[in-house]
Amino acid sequence: MIWSKMKQQLESFLYPALVGRVEYISTSYRYTPEKAGQCYLTVDKKKVFNMKDATTRIRWFQSEQEIKGDPNLNLPVSQEDIEAVRKDMGGKVPEERLAVIARDRKLLVYAKEMIAAQTALSKADFNAVANTFLTQSIEDSLASKDILLNVLALVDRRVGKKRILDMDKKMKLKHPIVQYFYQLRRSAL
């Protein structure tokens, strides 16, 4: 599908309060084959979603250690997580350490998922992901591990107010760019 048609379809699915605020931009270089072009999203005329651009306001992590050391990251640890650690350790760990170990385990899994998602995003072609979004259900896009599919679904008008409000806990485990678009959508409700 050509870009102008795809852009038109993507914009037709935008939540009404975000029309004009969120834009899909694609640049291409016709006469220079070594430059593939870029696709990115802007919010209020500012580039927000372009991984290769250092001026973006969203932090892109380079390693698992950066994610684990991020002081702004707050992962909730449930009683089930603590019980799993207690069971794995055979009761040999002091009670005050169980929550710390459970958080570290959860943080490691989160860091691995985050790096995998960013790597997949940097390799992905925006047009291919957008085409997938246009052909699959909104539920599949929301449940996907693909960052771009999550973002496109969050700004979609087919996702209602109740569903947005119910996603609060799930969004804490998503990439910062997905969290940004979630907050943008919540503010537009």
Please tell me the distance from the alpha carbon of residue 90 to that of residue 54, in angstroms, as a whole number.
Answer: 47
Helix ranges, the chain (H): 3-12, 64-68, 79-89, 95-123, 126-135, 138-143, 147-154, 161-166, 168-171, 176-188
Please tell me the distance from the alpha carbon of residue 140 to that of residue 24, in angstroms, as a whole number.
Answer: 21
pLDDT above 50 (res 76):
yes
Mean pLDDT check: name the lowest of 59-63, 159-163, 164-168: 59-63
Which tokens sit at 52? 């290769």
**What does pLDDT average to over the chain?**
83
| Straight-line distance from the first to the last Cα atom of the chain, in angstroms, rounded to the nearest whole number | 32
Please tell me the distance from the alpha carbon of residue 172 to that of residue 110, in angstroms, as a whole number.
Answer: 11
Q: Percent of the chain at pLDDT above 90?
A: 32
pLDDT for position 36: 55
pTM > 0.85: yes or no:
no
Longest Cα–Cα distance of the chain, Å, equals: 66
Chain Cα centroid distance, residue 149: 8
